[in-house]
Every structure is written in structure tokens, then in C-alpha cells.
Amino acid sequence: MSVKHALLALLEQEPMYGYQLRVAFEERTAGTWPLNIGQVYTTLSRLERDGLVTAGETDSDGHQLYRLTAAGRAEVTAWFGSAVPRTQPARDELAIKLALGVSARDLDLADIIQRQRSATMKALQDYNRLKRKATDLGHELVLDSLIFAAEAEIRWLDHCEAQLRRTADRAVR
Amino acid sequence: MNTPVLHLEGVSRIHGSGELAVHALREVSFEAYAGELVAVMGPSGSGKSTLLTLAGGLDEPTSGRVVVEGTDLTAAGAGGRARLRRTAIGYVFQDFNLIPALTAAENVSLPLELDGAPSRAARAAAATALDELGIGDLADRFPDEMSGGQQQRVAIARAIVGQRRLILADEPTGALDSVTGEDILRLLRARCDAGAAGVLVTHEPRHAAWADRVVYLRDGVVLDDEDAGETVGARR
Ligand SMILES: Nc1ncnc2c1ncn2[C@@H]1O[C@H](COP(=O)(O)OP(=O)(O)O)[C@@H](O)[C@H]1O
Ligand SMILES: [Mg+2]
């Protein structure tokens, strides 16, 4: 996840200091991806080194405000304008579990699939409850992203189960 | 929350007989209480629609009992079932099933009028139901003058008109885009929050997530969800 671009996009709206950036980021993304403050400061110093932000004046409370440079503004525009690359998927424990389960003996894979489906559905129900309470479009879209991802997992589990049954049926014939 | 609005007790439904017998449902027990929305999921052919038609009194079990608001549907006879369908049970289908020659308001008031309600009262109840679903202004439109989402809202108005307490919906969002489908679920959810019992058949996990409980059907059997998540090992 590009913390760099998220910070730049926030700074495009107004100059902010580090802690303020962290709060704004978490607030806008419904607290879904917590940022630690150390990460914010190291990112800011890298952005400053690269000429994308300047550390300027301090506000009345002595916080150092960061603002976007012209190069930083161009970077934000380019980020919004380009597709996010599909990264190499992280090691997926569930996929690995099923792949290994297929060849394990004495294992009821259908049962494992159902247990997972039930757990993922519970998460989906939680996201749905949060979404029903959401009053901010940005929050809703973040929750929708989690919702669609959980749904994709359940659909994939359905698919695995159907494949499993088909294979079993073939073996019987 | 003590007695369920809908109670299936050991219900089986077998189509045909002998070699060709299809066990659409096997010894299924199922409850839906006032104020809750229950989703039913399962692959096609697993018995979802059969469960719903039995709950709605549109079909009869081969064995077992279906009880709606304390009335045993089998004992109620065809007349009694028809009456319950007009007063206590609302049904929503994927393809809306509105009568093309009737306006939205007439489609909604029809079940009440068939039940012998005075025309005026039936019209007033229909107007209330349409308003509740945010489509009061469509009362005089015919089905072919409305979008799919609007028609489905009319179908839901018809399903809830006159204080019905059990709402059965079979893939009600199947023909709708994702945002319109979501509006429909929001309405079903609101209706259950207001005290109705709802049963929603859907193949969209995202939509099932609106429910309080999700029941999974496989080959006419309800998967036992109680031990899912509890047992550590899945070894046979
Ligand atoms: N009227 C009928 N005659 C014979 N078989 C039927 C009839 N209705 C349903 N079935 C069978 O019963 C099973 C369950 O069907 P259904 O309840 O429609 O499943 P679902 O809605 O989950 O797709 C299927 O195998 C189906 O073919
Ligand atoms: Mg069906």
C-alpha cells in the first residue's frame, strides 16, 4: 500500500503536520488500515528529500506543517491517473490449506470449506452492519471493497466445493 | 421472540416416486422469528425454492409440519392457506410477477381486495405501502412503465401490504444491478427491523450478509452450522 501517495493526496488538499496526516488518513479510510506515526514521519522525510513536499512554517502550536511542491502535485495527478498495479498475491493461507488438503488423507475438505465459508460470512455480516451505519461515502466505498473481497472468497469456496463434488462423482462412476 | 412466525418441523418434500423420486428436502427444521431476516444459500437444486414455496403454502410437504403464525398449513386446507397467503404471508419473486394490466396501486391492493377488504380501505393500505417504499408517486404507473428496481419495489409493497408478518423472497435481486439490488435489501431489512420475519433466498454472499442468520442447504439438507467453527479438527 502506497503510504507515500496517500500522504501526497491528503497534502494536496491542505498543508498538514505529521500527526494530523495520520488522523486524516485513518478517518478517511474508516480506520481500516492503521498507520503508525513513525511510518508517517519516515515517509515525510523521504518525500522532502525527493522534493515532493517542503517542511515549512510551524502553526501556532509549534507543529511543523508540510506542503506539496509542484513536483508533488504532479506526482498526485499521475497517481490518480494511473491504474494501481496488481501486486504478486501475498501467500494465501486458505488457498494453501485447500491445496494441501486435497491430497491429505482422512480429511473432510467439504467440512473445512463450510467452516471457512461460515467464518467469512460472519465477517461479511460485520462489514454490512458497519456499512449500514456509515454516513460518509468514502467510508462506504472502503467497506464495499472489503465486502466484495470477502464475497469473492465465498464464491471461490463455493467453486472449490463444486469442483470437489464433481471429482468425487467422477471417481464413483 | 418466543414462538417463531415460521416453523418448519422435520419437513420432507419428495417429487415423484420410486426410481425417479427426487428428495427436494429431507427432514428440514427451520425457524424464522419476528424481527429477524434469515438468508438461505445453497447451490442450484439444493432445495431453496422448495423450502420457500412450502413456507408460503404454495406447496405441501410429503411429511412434517409447516406452521405460520401458529397455523399448521396442512391442517388449514387449501382455503385456509390461500387466506394466509392474502393476509399473513408476502412473497417476492425474482421476476417481480406483477400483473401487467394493473397499475402499481392495483397490484398492491389486489390481495386485500381478494380477501374481501373494502376497496377504499385496500387502496389506502396500498398507498401507505407504496409510500413506505418511497414510490408513492408511481401508484398509477403500469409495470411496463417502470424500471426493474421500481417494479421490485412494487412487488415488495404487495408483499408487505396489510401488516403481513412473514416475507419470503426468492432471489429478489437476481434481475437487478448491484446498487438497485442493495436498495431492495435495505427495504427488506427495514421491514424485518420493524417486526416482520423475513426469509431471503440468494446466491449472492454480499446480499446474504444483510441477514441476521445464514442457513446453508445441500441436497435438501440444512448444513449444521452449530459445529462449524467449534470443532477444531475436521478429521473423519
Ligand atoms: N415440481 C417438481 N418436480 C420434480 N422435481 C422437482 C420439482 N420442483 C423441484 N424439483 C427438484 O427438487 C430439487 C430442489 O429444487 P429447488 O427447490 O427448485 O432448488 P433451488 O431453488 O435450490 O435451485 C431439484 O433437484 C429440482 O429438480
Ligand atoms: Mg430456486
Interface test with A, best of B179, B188, B193, B206 (most A CBs within 10 A): B206
Q: Does B205 touch chain A (CB under 8 A)?
A: yes
Say if the Cβ atoms of B209 and A128 lie within 8 Å: yes
CA A76 – CA A9 distance, rounded (Å): 6
Given a cut of 90, whether residue A57 has pLDDT beyond it is no
Q: Which of A118, A151, A161 sits opposite B228 (nearest CB)?
A: A118
Ligand 1 near B94 CB (within 6 A): no
Given a cut of 50, whether residue B230 has pLDDT beyond it is no
Identify the H or E element spanning B166: strand B166-170
Residue at B213 is within a domain: yes
On chain A, the residues whose CB falls within 8 A of the CB of B204 are: 151
Rounded to the nearest angstrom, the minimum Cα separation between B230 and chain A is: 9
Q: Which of A115, A148, A158 sits opposite B234 (nearest CB)?
A: A115
CA B167 – CA B184 distance, rounded (Å): 13
CA B30 – CA B28 distance, rounded (Å): 6
> Ligand 2 centre from B57 Cα, in Å?
16
Q: Which of B209, B234, B236 sits opposite A121 (nearest CB)?
A: B209
Give the DSSP letter of residue B235.
B
On chain B, the residues whose CB falls within 8 A of the CB of A107 are: 234-236
Given a cut of 60, whether residue B1 has pLDDT beyond it is no
Question: Which 3 state secondary structure label does DSSP give B143?
Answer: helix
What is the chain A residue with the closest CA to B186?
A132
Q: Cα angle vertex A4, ends A28, A93, to 5°?
A: 80
pLDDT grade, residue B231 (50/70/90)? very low
pLDDT for A167:
86
Q: Cα angle vertex A123, ends B215, B219, to 5°?
A: 25
pLDDT for B7:
97
Q: Name the residue of B15, B44, B95, B222 to mutate for ligand 1: max ligand atoms within 8 A of Cβ.
A: B15
β-partners of residue B216 are B41
Q: Quickly tell me which residue has 405441501 as its cell.
A: B60
What is the CATH number that goes with domain A3-80?
1.10.10.10
pLDDT for B226:
52
ipTM entry = 0.81
Residue at B43 is within a domain: yes
Percent with pLDDT over 90 in chain B: 65
β-partners of residue B214 are B39
pLDDT for B215:
96
pLDDT digits (tens, 9 = 90+) for B9-61: 999 999 998 888 999 999 999 999 999 999 999 999 999 999 999 999 999 99
> Ligand 2 centre from B168 Cα, in Å?
12
- Work out how many domains chain B is built from and give that number: 1
Strands B213-218 and B37-41: parallel
Q: What is the pTM of this model?
A: 0.84
Per-residue exposure over A44-61, b if at least 16 CB sit within 10 Å of its own CB, e if not: beebeeeebbeeeeeeee
Mean pLDDT (whole number) for B186-210: 94
Residue at B6 is within a domain: no
Domain containing B216: what range?
34-62+78-231
Q: What is the CATH number of the domain that holds B225?
A: 3.40.50.300
> Ligand 2 centre from B34 Cα, in Å?
24
Of residues B215 and B162, the one with the higher pLDDT is B215
Say if the Cβ atoms of B234 and A121 lie within 8 Å: no
pLDDT for B115:
82
Average pLDDT, chain A: 90
Question: What residues of chain A, 43 to 82, have a C-beta less than 8 Å from chain B?
Answer: none
> Ligand 2 centre from B25 Cα, in Å?
13
Q: Where are the domains of chain A?
A: 3-80, 93-172
Please report which ligand is nearest the Cα atom of B45.
1
Contacts of B111 (CB under 8 A, 6+ apart): B85, B86, B87, B158, B161, B162
Residue B149, Ramachandran bin (φ over 0: left; ψ between -120 and 50: alpha; else beta): alpha
On chain A, the residues whose CB falls within 8 A of the CB of B236 are: 106-108
